[in-house]
Structure 1
Amino acid sequence: MSRTAKLALAFVLAIGSLHSPLRADEFTVDPSHTSVIFGISHLGYSFTYGRFNKVSGEFTLDPAKPDAASFTLAIDAASIDTNDAKRDDHLRGPDFLNTGEFPVISFKSNKVVVEKKDDATIYVVSGELTMHGVTKPVTLNLQKLGEGPGPTGQGFHTGFNCQTKLNRSEWGMTKMVPHIGDEVAVTISLEGSRK
């Protein structure tokens, strides 16, 4: 191949690389920087708060096609923690989560719409939430909080925050309603590291 042909080929390859589509970024949920917290009414006198200590998942973000994003989460139902061992055992039992039969609470997205509100970027994530053996559609509004390198300058991280409300009776957990509230307030703070 002549020198001119080699230069022409190099030029074509360089131009082609400029127009190649950006790859979607795949992230693994960082469990040490991810929280799933809930609050529920107790007799209408107070709110009891708790969390799930074991959360995993993945999400994909495509800078070229933001609406092609996807999110999955898996929560170890038995990792529920309300700072009261006796109550936590009751919540794991058949009156509530029944973790022996339904050990995982899972969410999988099937549609994402990205919206801009003032300075905020909101991922409106529709999907299916499976809990207590029941699968129902839910929509989560994930506000993108930020992205960038980790504290040591290595890796790349992206984080979201979400607040929503669920009625536990819709997933077959009706025990002690209304003394223990039906509506559960849920906060998800989610951080992932790029693979």
Structure 2
Amino acid sequence: MEIDFITSNKGKIAALKRSFLNAGRFDIKVNQVQADIVEPQLNNIADVSKYKAMEAFKILKKPILVEDGGLVIEALNGFPGPYTKYVSSTIGIDGILKLMNGENNRAAKFVSFATFVGNDGTVCQFERFGDNFEIAYERKTVIHPDAWSDLWQVMYMKDYGKMLCEFSKQELSDFTERSQTSGSLQQFAKWFLEKY
């Protein structure tokens, strides 16, 4: 059995494979697939994920999986949300901190949606609201070797009393393990195993 996953992120592929292996399923192959899909300008992460999955299904004419996520900041009414990648590459962390200037509510989280389109075009979505954290008042200059984004330098993890970029290898391992057990890809894997 195979699953075609539209992503350029090898970490997402590894996470999905790990979910199947942890369930004792060694017979499911996860293929990393590229498709030329225009990133839609929609205000909702779920809608972006669904749009991209449906477009990929139309192009490839076979079942497909897409996963999208974004940073949601309470004080900014959910911004940047689906625009996280764009915001990170334009105004960056310093711009986010400027937008947060004067805000006492620093609450934020990552939200992700895995969207699967089956043979018959049926769409199934799996949602995860990530761990809550706070946007720091200033950027830490520490660069973590495993960081996937500069955002780590402003993510204050209240439960740990430190910034994500300051995590030890063990703290990061524990945090990642806990986060990935309930992620949108893990929810998809559980559903897929029950259905197929």
Common fold, TM-score beyond 0.5? no
Higher strand share: 1
Structure showing greater Rg: 1
- Relative to its length, the structure with more helix (as a share) is 2
* Structure of higher RCO (CA pairs closer than 8 Å, 6+ residues apart): 1
* TM-score under structure 2 length normalisation: 0.26
Give the TM-score of the pair, scaled to structure 1. Answer: 0.27
